[in-house]
Every structure is written in C-alpha cells, then in structure tokens.
A and B are shown apart, each in its own frame.
Chain A
Amino acid sequence: MTELRIEGVARVFPSVGRGPPTRALEPIDLAVGDNDFVTILGPSGCGKSTLLRLVAGLDGPTAGRIVLDGRPIAAPGPDRGMVFQSYTLFPWLTIADNIAFGLREKGVPAATRARIVTEWLERVGLSGFAQHYPKQLSGGMQQRTAIARALANEPAILLLDEPFGALDNQTRALMQELLLGIWEREQKTVLFVTHDIEEAIFLASRVVVMTARPGRIKAEVAIDLPHPRHYTIKTSPEFSALKARLTEEIRAEAVLAEGSLP
C-alpha cells in the first residue's frame, strides 16, 4: 500500500540580486492513494515541477512536509522513481545497463538483474536494443528506457516530469498509451506533471489543476473514463466535456501568467 501525503508544502526561492524572493509554491495539500494516477496540470512556471522535485527529495520545502507511507521525505531515494523531461539516460551505459542501474546500486545479483532487464526491455518494446547506446536511439525510445529504468527499481511511486514534452505529437500519443498500458497491468501509484490538457485527462484517474505563480491547487477533477482506455476515447463526448472544462480552468491561469494580451 502506497500513500503519499503532501501537507502544507510551500517553496520560496531566495531572491536573486535585489529582487523579491520567488514564491514558487503556496502551501499545498494533496493526498495520493494506492494505485492512483494523478496528473498535475498547470501553465509553465506554475511550480508543478517544483512540487514534483520536492516529492522526489531533490529539493527541500520551505514549509510543510511530505510523507510517503508514514515516513517524512528528507532526501532522494529509490522508493520514488523519477522520469525527467530532459533525456537523462547515462550515455556511457548501454540500454540494458541503464535499466539495471538502480538494481546494481541495490546489490541485486547479476542473474536476477538480467532477468528483470529482459522483462522491462520487452514491456517497453526495446528487446532488440539492449546493447545500443542511448545516442543511437530516438527521443521516444530514450524516454521509454527511462520509464523502464525507473520502474525496474520497483519504486513505491513513479514521478514523471513532463516526460513526453520534447517529443512530437504522434510519438507522444503512442507513449501515453504505452505508459497507461503499463499502469493498467502493473497497478502503480503515479504522479505525472504536464501542461498538456489531453494528456492529463487521458492518463489520469484524477487531474489536479494548479494556478499561475505562486502555485496553488485550483481544482481537482476526477476522471471517470473506463479502463482499459483506448486512444479513440479522446474523441468521445465525455472526453470532450472534460477537456472543455479543464481548458477553461487552465486558460484563466495562462492569461494570468502571461499578463494581459491585446
């Protein structure tokens, strides 16, 4: 059982030069339950990535605390796997060794490691690429490897920070289906940050909308679309209704973030 609780978490970045300090996150409360797939949707600069980095333990909150399964988070750890927007595969390791990175760090014996790596290569459709280096792979393949690398470690929760942000639209749609397929089969607790409304709805069981800076939670929308979800669901009336609603919520924030446009 995984339970993540974010309790009154705020983050203020100290001022640069003479400017005022940046309030990236206002106090935020959020609970993510077992096998929940929560997407955090917000305009750029709303602090959604900051929130994810706080959960990962890569940054510390100015106030409040984050508790995973009863233990407060103080530092990064293998119980919170993360997939970044930038390509962060280790370029000197083959795809197989990249996936095995966390397992090696844990001291998993070589034979078990090899078995787990083979399984994950298969699940993300990269069986033929075990001995390739990251540079030889497309962006989508690299992010698939990054997902496999994080999940092979069996984290309690998977954190994804706009993982498909740098991919073209078609690849992005395929990646969403792949990730959703894995989630439907494996049942994982997932926190997924994005600024893409369709992506947020398609993947989530719950969408959390954040306001423009300073970031706060503006709305929480449950997504009751049935599983397994097929990509055709994106053209259904229910999907369109959700999209229309979230578009309104997000647009107001984007306008705030950009200042008044003519």
Chain B
Amino acid sequence: MKPLAPISNTARLVLGILFFVLFFAAWAFATLGGFVSSTFLADPITMVEEGWLLLTRHGFLADIGVTIWRVVGGFVLAALVAVPLGILMGAYKPIEAFFEPFVSFARYLPASAFIPLLILWAGIGEAQKLLVIFIGSVFQIVLMVAMTVSGVRRDLVEAALTLGARDRGILGRVLIPASAPSIAESLRLVLGWAWTYVIVAELIGSSSGIGHMIIDSQALLATGQMIFGIIVIGVIGLISDLLFKLANRRLFPWSLA
C-alpha cells in the first residue's frame, strides 16, 4: 500500500463487501457459538426471522412509512425556512449581522433536549415530531447555506457587475446558481442528521414509528427486532443519500464535468 495510490473499482467493491461479511461472521460466531447470551444479543438468523415477522405480521411497514413522513416533513419545513434565510444572510451583511449570533448559539441547543418541552407545548402528536426535526435541522442549514453563499467567488460577482448586473441579478443569476450545488450537498448532510432526531423523538413519546417499535421490543427483550429496526434505519438513510446524490448529479451537471 502506498499513500493516496488509487485502487480499482473491483477491489473497492470487494473490500467494501468484505467488511460486511466479516462483521456478520463475527456477530454470528459470538451469538451462535454461545459466547453471548441471547437475552442481550440475538443472532443474525433470529434477527432476520423476527424482522420478517415484523414486516408481515405486525405492520412494521406502516411504522417505517410514518417515520419517513416525519423526517421528510420536518426536514422540508426546515429547508423552506432555512435556505432563503441562509441565502439572504450570505448575500446581505446587515442581515447576517442580525441573525448570525443567535443562529450560532441556537445551533448548539440539542434538539433532543427540547423533546420534554415540546411534548408540553405540542403534545405527543405529529406536530411534536416535526418540531424536533425542524429545530434540529433549521439552524444547521441556515449557517451552512449562509457560509456557502458568502463564499461565492468574488471575481464571478465582479464579472457580473461589469456586465451590467444589478442587485437582483447578482443575487438571482450569480449567488444562487453558484451556490446551488453546495446547498444541495448541505441538505444531504443535514437530512442524515435528521434521521437521528426522529428516532430519539419516537423513543420518548410515541405510539408509532421505527423508534416506537424499538422501545416496545426492549420491553419484550426482543433484541432481534431492535437490531432489525436499527438496520432498517441505516438502509433507508443510505437510499435517501443515494437519491440525493443522483438528483444533484442530474440538476448540476456543470459542477462535475
């Protein structure tokens, strides 16, 4: 191995899969070999069986649907507020000076710590779940978008000015298109974080969703179900990430070339 030396695509794929194989092998060895009590950790086969039962008998698909809707709903609301605000902050320094200190502070407020408060305010219904995700995402998106927009190459702005662009043109025809790919990339990252918030919200006060299933399974000591739930979250996260990447490639062909 040499530092930074590239490897072939096949080698990359094989190595990537190899880790999963080893991981499952170690897990199977520890559980099926009797080294870990099945009370604490189910073996892979039980996990798959319990997962299948969840999907076919217990309506787990509905839980998955509810969780996805919560993440997407809260995230879209956050993006609708945060992206325009972030663009304005990046473009206009007085607006940035007004919001930036508060947003930087609010960013460090842990969304999960708001859950008890939000339950008081909004009950344990959907509004509360959406709010948790909203609070967890909105400040992050604002700051990332603002940073992207203020980082747009100065010489592109100057070129537009010498071509006769005025304020509106600079904003709409330079700053926004120039930062669009990075904004989409920021959204992709924050969506990943939104997944952790939704599960926490569902663990604490909920009667549906993947997180609720996991906490229910704990009472039954059904570790196989719990692990299955966690894996489902990982798989959905991976799929949404891929979809985002594909969409970005479609929308911004010029940024790759």
> Chain A residues in contact with chain B, CB under 8 A?
56-58, 75-78, 80-82, 84, 86, 88, 90-93, 101-102, 104-106, 133-136, 146, 149-150, 153, 159
Query: A92 with B164: in contact, given A58-B158, A135-B254 (CB under 8 Å)?
Result: no
Query: A84 with B257: in contact, given A56-B162, A102-B163 (CB under 8 Å)?
Result: no
Chain A residues with Cβ under 8 A from B252's Cβ? 92
User: Per a CB cutoff under 8 Å, which of B155, B169, B174, B254 touches A84?
Assistant: B155
How far is A153 from B162 in the complex, measured between Cα atoms in Å?
A: 10
Contact sample, A vs B, 27 pairs, CB 8 Å cutoff:
A56-B162, A57-B162, A58-B162, A78-B163, A78-B164, A82-B158, A82-B159, A82-B162, A90-B156, A90-B160, A90-B174, A90-B178, A91-B255, A92-B254, A92-B255, A93-B254, A102-B163, A105-B163, A105-B166, A133-B253, A133-B254, A135-B254, A136-B257, A146-B159, A149-B163, A150-B162, A153-B163
Mask of B228-257 contacts with A, CB within 8 angstroms, 1/0:
000000000000000000000000111101
Cβ of A93 to closest chain B Cβ, rounded Å: 8
B173 close to chain A: CB less than 8 A: yes
Q: Of B153, B164, B255, which is in contact with the most chain A CB atoms at under 10 Å from its CB?
A: B164
Q: Which of B116-172 contact A (CB under 8 A)?
A: 153, 155-156, 158-166, 169
B158 in contact with A88 (CB, 8 Å) = yes
User: Per a CB cutoff under 8 Å, which of B156, B164, B174, B255 touches A77?
Assistant: B164
B177 close to chain A: CB less than 8 A: yes
Q: Is the interface of B mostly helix, strand, loop or mixed?
A: helix
A90 in contact with B177 (CB, 8 Å) = yes
Q: Of A78, A92, A133, which is in contact with the most chain B CB atoms at under 10 Å from its CB?
A: A92
B162 in contact with A92 (CB, 8 Å) = no
Known A90-B160, A105-B169; 17 more pairs at CB < 8 Å: A57-B161, A76-B161, A76-B162, A78-B162, A86-B155, A88-B153, A90-B156, A90-B159, A90-B174, A92-B254, A92-B255, A101-B165, A105-B163, A134-B254, A135-B257, A136-B257, A150-B162
How far is A260 from B223 in the complex, measured between Cα atoms in Å?
A: 79
How far is A169 from B165 in the complex, measured between Cα atoms in Å?
A: 34
B158 in contact with A92 (CB, 8 Å) = no
Q: Of B165, B174, B254, which is in contact with the most chain A CB atoms at under 10 Å from its CB?
A: B254
Chain A residues with Cβ under 8 A from B177's Cβ? 90, 92-93
Q: Which 5 A-B residue pairings sit nearest by Cβ, starting from the closest?
A: A78-B164, A102-B163, A76-B161, A88-B159, A82-B162
Chain A residues with Cβ under 8 A from B169's Cβ? 105
Chain B residues with Cβ under 8 A from A90's Cβ? 156, 159-160, 174, 177-178
B173 in contact with A101 (CB, 8 Å) = yes
How far is A8 from B165 in the complex, measured between Cα atoms in Å?
A: 29
User: Per a CB cutoff under 8 Å, which of B160, B166, B253, B255 touches A101?
Assistant: B160
How far is A10 from B173 in the complex, measured between Cα atoms in Å?
A: 33
B161 in contact with A58 (CB, 8 Å) = yes
A105 in contact with B165 (CB, 8 Å) = yes
**Closest residue to A82 on the B side, CB-wise?**
B162
B257 in contact with A102 (CB, 8 Å) = no
Chain A residues with Cβ under 8 A from B162's Cβ? 56-58, 76-78, 80-82, 150, 159
How far is A159 from B163 in the complex, measured between Cα atoms in Å?
A: 12
Q: Which of B196-239 contact A (CB under 8 A)?
A: none
How far is A80 from B159 in the complex, measured between Cα atoms in Å?
A: 11
Q: Of B155, B158, B177, B253, which is in contact with the most chain A CB atoms at under 10 Å from its CB?
A: B158
A91 in contact with B160 (CB, 8 Å) = no
How far is A105 from B165 in the complex, measured between Cα atoms in Å?
A: 6
Cβ of B182 to closest chain A Cβ, rounded Å: 12
B155 in contact with A88 (CB, 8 Å) = yes
How far is A80 from B165 in the complex, measured between Cα atoms in Å?
A: 12
User: Per a CB cutoff under 8 Å, which of B153, B161, B163 touches A150?
Assistant: B163
How far is A153 from B165 in the complex, measured between Cα atoms in Å?
A: 12
How far is A214 from B171 in the complex, measured between Cα atoms in Å?
A: 36
Chain B residues with Cβ under 8 A from A150's Cβ? 162-163
**Closest residue to A84 on the B side, CB-wise?**
B155
Query: A102 with B164: in contact, given A92-B178, A133-B257 (CB under 8 Å)?
Result: yes
Cβ of B177 to closest chain A Cβ, rounded Å: 5
How far is A104 from B174 in the complex, measured between Cα atoms in Å?
A: 13
Chain A residues with Cβ under 8 A from B160's Cβ? 90, 101
**Closest residue to B257 on the A side, CB-wise?**
A135
